[in-house]
Amino acid sequence: MDLKPGSRWKSAVCDAELVVVRAPKSPVSLECGGHPVIPHAEARSGDLTLSDAHAAGSAAGKRYSDPESGLEVLCSKAGQGSLSVDGRAIGAQEAKKLPSSD
């Protein structure tokens, strides 16, 4: 999958939607709910099911990053599946605490 910055993806097994903020240094597979994500414009096949090992959920507005590959994504719609890269779970970054300036 071509995870270029700005590209949009969605989970194959839940409602989660993702935007790539930073591309990985080398090609990786981004998964949600245990299955590779699919391009945003594609329809979910409905054949796959959420893996219990990857069901911790992903939250809208959170940024998830994989230090190993450098991949960083923003979750644009929440879902039941949690995110992984090449099978390893990736976590959400700490929320930024900046005072509102606009």
Partner 1 sequence: MHTALLLDMAADAAPDRLALGGRADGLTFDETRRRARAGAAWLAGQGDGTVAFLGLNGPALPIAVFAAGLLGRPFAPLNYRLPNADLNRLLARTAPSVAIVDDDMLGRLEPHAGVTVVARSAFEAACASPGSDDLPDAQPDIAVLLFTSGTTGEPKAAILRHANLTSYVISTVEFLGAEEGEAALVSVPPYHIAGISAVLTGVYGGRRIVYLEAFTAEDWVEAAAREEISHAMVVPTMLGAILDILEARGESLPALKALSYGGGRMPLPVIERALAMLPHVDFVNAYGLTETSSTIAVLGPDDHRMAIYSDDEAAQRRLGSVGRPLPSLELEIRDPEGRVLGPNQPGEIYVRGEQVSGEYAHKKMLCDDGWFATNDGGWLDEEGYLFVEGRLDDVIVRGGENMSPGEIEDVLRAHPGVADVAVLGVPDDHWGEKVAAVVVARDPAPSPEDLAAWVRARLRSTKTPEVWAFREALPYNDTGKLLRRQLKAEMTAKPAAA
Closest C-alpha to 80, from 14, 30, 36, 27: 14
Helices (H), the chain: none
Per CB under 8 A, the segment of 30-38, 44-52, 57-65, 80-88 that binds partner 1 is 57-65
CA gap 46, 9 in Å, rounded: 16
Cα 3 to Cα 33, 38, 53, 98, 101: the distances in Å are 18, 11, 24, 29, 32
96 binds partner 1 (CB under 8 A): yes
Using CB under 8 A as the binding rule, the residues of this chain from 16 to 55 that contact partner 1 are 19, 21
DSSP bridge partners of 88: 85
Per CB under 8 A, the segment of 24-32, 42-50, 74-82, 83-91 that binds partner 1 is 74-82
Which one, 1 or 74, has the nearer CB to partner 1? 74
Per CB under 8 A, the segment of 25-33, 45-53, 76-84 that binds partner 1 is 76-84
Binding site for partner 1 (CB under 8 A): 5-6, 8, 19, 21, 60-63, 74, 76-78, 95-102
